[in-house]
Amino acid sequence: MHEAILHQLDALKTRYDEITAQLSGPDIVQDRDKLIQLSKEQADLSETVETYLAYKEKNKQLDEAKALLEEAKESDLIALIKEEIATLEDELAELENRLKRLLLPKDPNDEKNVIMEIRAAAGGEEAALFAAALFRMYSRYAEDKGWRLEMIDAHYTDLGGIKEITFMISGRGVYSKLKYENGAHRVQRVPETESAGRIHTSTATVTVMPEAEEVEVEIQEKDLRIDTFASSGPGGQSVNTTMSAVRITHLPTGIVVSCQDEKSQHKNKEKALKVLRARLYDKYMQEAEEEAAKWRRQAVGTGDRSERIRTYNFPQNRLTDHRIGLTLHRLDQIMDGDLDEVIDSLGMYFETQALEGAERTHA
């Protein structure tokens, strides 16, 4: 392993020991905030330190096995030692790769909840029906993971399609799983509205934003224009005579957010502010990434949210993710929420890209 990585690991081990000593001190229980902070830091470091200790132990065993090999004279013993050395080298290589991954900078948003938006794009009614199918797919996936899905706002068509929908998914590590779903999703299929049986191509866009805390994005009341209106259902007809729906316009950026899912105007305003905060946080993140030209922008492509990332071909039961060249012939299962292989493949690909970038830095 590269010397710079070993120095980094030694420093982390030293810090871990320091924290352990502080947590064992008699005064720590009197400072609750410090106790929580140190306990969290220790928990964050524990897997890396434990893996590093296992790596050092394997290295020691390998050195001992190589020393034994030099002294061995019997052919049977030599064969056994060589077999043990080969096993230890494989185990060391695996631990080294694991350590490199553990040392990659953590995305600070990975553990956050997400706010997702799906919009019908090119394709009229068929695009809206596809947007509805995507919403169902993510809903099933969230249900399978034990996450909570909460509606915020939705606009439907008369045929049950979705013009646009905003919802929140809460749970452990949600953003880490869904962050690569940003972009344009393309569908190829015979629409329900097509009598001649021709295959049409339509698109829907998906936006995934980490939920932002109030301390991360400060919103001034003077920067907001808040309008109220009656909730509407499919086709635009009014379903609520009270003015419970809320539309918030953020004047400095022009971002408009609406929420009509709750019967209470207060709750709708609360949800709309959550979406606004997430959109502003997402906007600041995108601007920061553009300025710094980070690895994710290079790995994903242009970084443009309108970039086509995936094709759903229904006649051939095929899904293709164009960013990583992944093709699966079980679209029916994926549309039913079985997204694990797609999500895990994307995570592994972008993690590998980051790992290769880190290795080039240390080279």
Average pLDDT over every residue of 187-194 = 79
What tokens appear for 39 in the block?
């306990």
The string of pLDDT tens digits covering residues 116-150 is 999 998 888 889 999 999 999 999 999 999 999 98
What tokens appear for 18 in the block?
């320091």
Helix (H) or strand (E) segment spanning residue 239: none
- As a whole-number percent, the residues of the chain with pLDDT over 90 amount to 44
Q: What is the pLDDT, as a whole number, of residue 153?
A: 85
pLDDT band, residue 242 (cuts 50/70/90): low
Q: What is the pLDDT, as a whole number, of residue 359?
A: 63
What average pLDDT does the structure give for the chain? 85
Q: Is the pLDDT of residue 233 over 60?
A: no
Q: Please give the Cα distance from 295 to 299 (Å, whole number).
A: 6
Average pLDDT over every residue of 84-112 = 87
Q: Which of 30-34, 62-66, 136-140 has the lowest mean pLDDT?
A: 30-34
pLDDT band, residue 362 (cuts 50/70/90): low
Q: Which of 26-30, 111-115, 212-216, 323-327 has the lowest mean pLDDT?
A: 212-216
Q: What is the pLDDT, as a whole number, of residue 241?
A: 55
Could you give all domains of the chain from N- to C-terminal order, each with its CATH number?
3-102 (1.20.58), 114-352 (3.30.70.1660)
> At CA 312, angle to CA 278 and CA 119, rounded to 5?
30
Q: What is the pLDDT, as a whole number, of residue 138?
A: 97
The residue whose two tokens read 């394709």 is 123
Q: What is the pLDDT, as a whole number, of residue 296?
A: 38
pLDDT band, residue 290 (cuts 50/70/90): low
Q: Which of 60-64, 212-216, 242-246 has the lowest mean pLDDT?
A: 212-216
Q: Please give the Cα distance from 67 to 71 (Å, whole number).
A: 7
Residue 20: CB atoms within 10 Å: 14
Q: Please give the Cα distance from 9 to 99 (Å, whole number).
A: 9
The residue whose two tokens read 């980094």 is 8
The residue whose two tokens read 């493949």 is 345
The string of pLDDT tens digits covering residues 2-12 is 787 888 899 99
How many residues can be counted in the chain? 363
pLDDT band, residue 284 (cuts 50/70/90): confident
